[in-house]
Amino acid sequence: MAAQRTISREGIEVFRFGPVATVLIPLLALFLQASLPLRFSTLNIFDLPLLVVIFFSVARRSPMAGTLTGCIIGLAKDSLTYAHQPIGLFGISDSIVGYIASSIGVKIDVENPGSRLLMTFCFYLLSRGIYQVLRNMAKQPIDFNWGHELGAALVNAVLAVGLFMVLDRYKQRG
């Protein structure tokens, strides 16, 4: 398994980001996510922090970094939710998404817009699925409208294609 991984790593490009981009891009995503729905309430369908997690994880191609990125951004999302809602629900789901995104980034071509669309669509649904399971585990079940979630996943996937193209400019070859 380790040998396979080494071979994969040798065959693909690994990117890194400057410290400013590493800090400011997630912060900006959180800020926009918390501010934009004030004026346009329908925009809360987007999950910008999750898209940032996916982007960083896929680009770095390091499962450990992806896990930690997902954990930190997820916990930040958690901390903006209702005060009596336990912290860690988004943290766990985004950690898992970050890990899987990094692992997939090692194995398949994730620079293609088509694969980015499909990948983000699936990761969004995975994130919501994990969140739902965790809410049930925490005895705080919520009624998911899966039709709505599928639509949201598609919208986020389309946004991700454009967003990732913008964020590609901040990549540095590792």
Partner 1 sequence: MENFFTRYRNETVLFGVVFIQVILLAVQVRVPQPALGSVTAAVQPSQPGPRLIRVWATGLISPFQKLTVHSGEGIRGIWRNYVDLIHVRQQNIEMKQEIDHLRLEKIRLQQDAEQGQRLQALLGFKEQFLDQTVAAQVIGTSGTDLSRVIYVDRGTRDGVQPGMAVITPDGIVGKVSRADKTTSQVLLITDPMSGAGVLLERLRLNGVLKGTQSGYPEVLDVMADEKVQVGDTIVTTGGDRVFPKGLSVGTVTSVFPDRERDPFLAIRVKPTVNLGRLEEVLIVTKVLEQQVVTDANGAERAADILAQRLPSAKKKTADEVAKQTAAAEAAPGGETPAMNAEPKAVPQVATPTTRPPAVPDKYSPPDAKKSAGNMAETPAKKSEAPAVSENKKNNASAGDASTKKQVTPPKETPH
Residue 165 touches partner 1, criterion: CB under 8 A: no
Q: Is 87 in the site for partner 1 (CB under 8 A)?
A: yes
User: How far apart are CB 99 and partner 1 at their closest, in Å?
Assistant: 5
> In this structure, are residues 95 and 67 in contact, taking their beta carbons and an 8 Å threshold?
yes
In the range 97-156, which residues lie near partner 1 by CB under 8 A? 99, 102-103, 131, 134, 137-140, 142-145
Among 21, 34, 150, 154, binds partner 1 (CB under 8 A): 34
CB nearer partner 1, residue 89 or residue 110: 89
* Segment interacting with partner 1, rule: CB under 8 A, options 14-22, 43-51, 110-118, 159-167: 43-51
Q: Token pair for residue 106?
A: 């090692």
Rg for the chain (alpha carbons), in Å? Answer: 16
Q: How far apart are CA 97 and CA 123, in angstroms?
A: 6
Q: Half-sphere exposure of 26 toward its Cβ, with a 13 Å CA cutoff?
A: 22
161/157 Cα distance (integer angstroms) = 7
End-to-end CA distance of the chain: 23
173 binds partner 1 (CB under 8 A): no
Angle, vertex CA 153, rays to CA 104 and CA 169, nearest 5: 55
DSSP lists the bridge partners of residue 15 as 173
Give min distance, CB of 101 to partner 1, in A: 12
CA pair distance 61, 65, nearest whole angstrom: 8
Q: Of 10-18, 53-61, 82-90, 154-162, which part binds partner 1 (CB under 8 A)?
A: 82-90
Residue type, 138: A
Least Cβ distance, residue 13 to partner 1 (angstroms): 19
Closer CB to partner 1, 146 or 162, in the complex:
146
Written as six digits, the tokens of 70 are: 């997902």
Binding site for partner 1 (CB under 8 A): 1-2, 27, 30-31, 33-35, 37-39, 41-42, 44-45, 47-49, 62-64, 67-68, 71, 75-89, 91-92, 95-96, 99, 102-103, 131, 134, 137-140, 142-145
